[in-house]
Amino acid sequence: MKKFYTLSIAVCLSVFVSAQTATFTFTYTGFTPQAQAAFEYAAGIWAHTVVSAVPIKVLAHFQQLPTGTLGITFPNGRKNFTNAPLPDKWYSTSLANSIAGVELNPGEVDIEIYLSSTTNWYYDSTGTVPSGKYDFVTIALHELCHGLGFLSIAKKTGTTGSLGMLTSTDFYPFTTSYPWPNLDTLPSVFDSFLVTDQNEQLDTFPNPSILLGSKLTSNAIYFNGTNAMAANNGTRPRIYAPLTFALGSSITHFNEATYPAGNINELMTPNGNPGYKLHDPGPLCIGVLKDIGWTISPNVGIAETNKEEPIFSVYPNPAYDYLFTSSSISNEKIKSIELKNMLGEKMMDMENNSRVSVSDLPKGVYFIIFKTLNYQSVQKFIKG
Ligand SMILES: [Zn+2]
């Protein structure tokens, strides 16, 4: 698992584990220990990606699914809750809870996931996926993302398309432990960002209607969110909208052909790929999550752009009695840490992940110079 390091004066001196920004709780039916471990590994990736003060409750079933189906996810939903950014849109409860700052659905789970127990899975989170096997972590990561709200509630029956008319019988025999809400012909917040190639919003068409039905299978649907577009060089990411509507695949994914296996944005396409893994949501998915209302951990961007660069910090600033140093790399890789005054004169040598007394230093501005074999960082601090 990728480690994210945090640069914060609040960080305890000796703690350099990555910063978890959300908590998941789990209830399982039918899981094996190795499936459970891989599932929690995937949830851990999301726990370091999205920010929520309210624990995200997951009920996961490990059982036989229809042939060819790897997973099915039902996010619980709320609309028009306190602080809802957009009115009359369905939000996954994990997102609604995060925005509201309180648990809006006590006694109900947020995400209900079915994963196939008969698939030829690869459970190891670290190794190379053998050809012919499906990577469990990748698929769990994908399904959990639907649970977080990467989800359309569009449907097409005959030629008629609709938003917010899904019922539990559409997914028979799969059910949810929480009451299926009356969706009230309202779109999900994800749906509210979808547009045609003419930039017409899907949720502005008559609902239900044959016109909306034709758009759902137009092979020309795009996600019109500013964050997703910014992550896509200013253009709208393409949504999967094949000419034949497939419930559970159409509209609720990125377009398969645009983001094929190997693409960094492949996670949220409809098809899983054997012999292949992706343990990163990818920038377009992160953009979509931001657009629908998620706060994303600031460490996500750092990890992407700054992977090789160590992070050094000194604190507190200003310092009066003691000054602490910390870094994201091991002590043996550090060449030197020197404290210098404004004239560039070395006042003392410092150790990594330690503290020194600065009470004898005159008040003023000082510099800490961290050096490794191929990197240098200079930080200013004030002796108060
Ligand atoms: Zn999916």
Q: What is the pLDDT of residues 101-126, one digit of tens each?
A: 999 999 999 999 999 999 999 999 99
Q: Whose structure tokens read 């709320």?
A: 78
Which residues partner with 379 through β-bridges? 368
Looking at residue 69, what is its pLDDT?
A: 94
- Distance from the CA of 252 to the center of ligand 1, in angstroms? 7
Distance of CA 315 to the CA centre of its chain: 30
- Distance from the CA of 372 to the center of ligand 1, in angstroms? 44
Whether 80 has a pLDDT exceeding 90, the answer reads yes
- Distance from the CA of 155 to the center of ligand 1, in angstroms? 15
- Distance from the CA of 332 to the center of ligand 1, in angstroms? 44
Compute the distance between CA of residue 250 and CA of residue 138 in angstroms, rounded to an integer: 20
Whether 302 has a pLDDT exceeding 60, the answer reads no
Looking at residue 376, what is its pLDDT?
A: 64
- Distance from the CA of 200 to the center of ligand 1, in angstroms? 24
When pLDDT is averaged across residues 36-53 and rounded to a whole number, the result is 96
- The amino acid that residue 320 corresponds to is Y
- The amino acid that residue 1 corresponds to is M
- pTM for the whole structure: 0.76
pLDDT-based confidence at 366, cuts 50/70/90?
confident
- Distance from the CA of 287 to the center of ligand 1, in angstroms? 17
Which distant-in-sequence residues (6+ apart) come within 8 Å of 320 by Cβ? 358, 359, 383, 384
> What are the Cα distances from residue 221, in Å, to 205, 257, 271?
14, 13, 18
- Distance from the CA of 1 to the center of ligand 1, in angstroms? 22
- Distance from the CA of 137 to the center of ligand 1, in angstroms? 14
Sign of CA dihedral 82, 87, 89, 95: negative
In order of start, what are the domains of the chain with their CATH numbers? 24-187+259-303 (no CATH), 312-383 (2.60.40)
226-264 pLDDT, tens digit each: 999 999 999 999 999 999 999 999 999 999 999 998 899
Preceding omega of 316 cis (within 30 degrees of 0): yes
Looking at residue 298, what is its pLDDT?
A: 82
Task: Judge contact between 11 and 36, C-beta under 8 A.
Answer: no
Compute the distance between CA of residue 295 and CA of residue 140 in angstroms, rounded to an integer: 21
Token pair for residue 163? Answer: 């938003």
Compute the distance between CA of residue 309 and CA of residue 302 in angstroms, rounded to an integer: 10
Preceding omega of 173 cis (within 30 degrees of 0): yes
- Distance from the CA of 30 to the center of ligand 1, in angstroms? 21
Token pair for residue 248? Answer: 């559970």
Mean pLDDT across the chain: 89
- Distance from the CA of 182 to the center of ligand 1, in angstroms? 22
When pLDDT is averaged across residues 296-317 and rounded to a whole number, the result is 64
Whether 315 has a pLDDT exceeding 90, the answer reads no
- Distance from the CA of 247 to the center of ligand 1, in angstroms? 11
When pLDDT is averaged across residues 257-279 and rounded to a whole number, the result is 94
Q: ∠68-72-78 over CA atoms, to 5°?
A: 160
175-208 pLDDT, tens digit each: 999 999 999 999 999 999 999 999 999 999 999 9
- Distance from the CA of 306 to the center of ligand 1, in angstroms? 30
Task: Judge contact between 227 and 290, C-beta under 8 A.
Answer: yes
Question: Where are the strands (E) in the chain, listed by range?
Answer: 24-29, 56-63, 71-75, 77-78, 91-92, 111-116, 121-122, 134-135, 154-157, 160-163, 194-196, 221-223, 238-239, 312-315, 322-327, 334-340, 346-349, 355-357, 364-372, 376-383
Compute the distance between CA of residue 55 and CA of residue 133 in angstroms, rounded to an integer: 32
- Distance from the CA of 146 to the center of ligand 1, in angstroms? 7
- Distance from the CA of 329 to the center of ligand 1, in angstroms? 37
- Distance from the CA of 269 to the center of ligand 1, in angstroms? 7
> What are the Cα distances from residue 170, in Å, to 156, 216, 249, 250?
11, 17, 13, 14
Q: ∠112-118-122 over CA atoms, to 5°?
A: 90
Compute the distance between CA of residue 376 and CA of residue 227 in angstroms, rounded to an integer: 33
When pLDDT is averaged across residues 305-316 and rounded to a whole number, the result is 60
- Distance from the CA of 331 to the center of ligand 1, in angstroms? 43
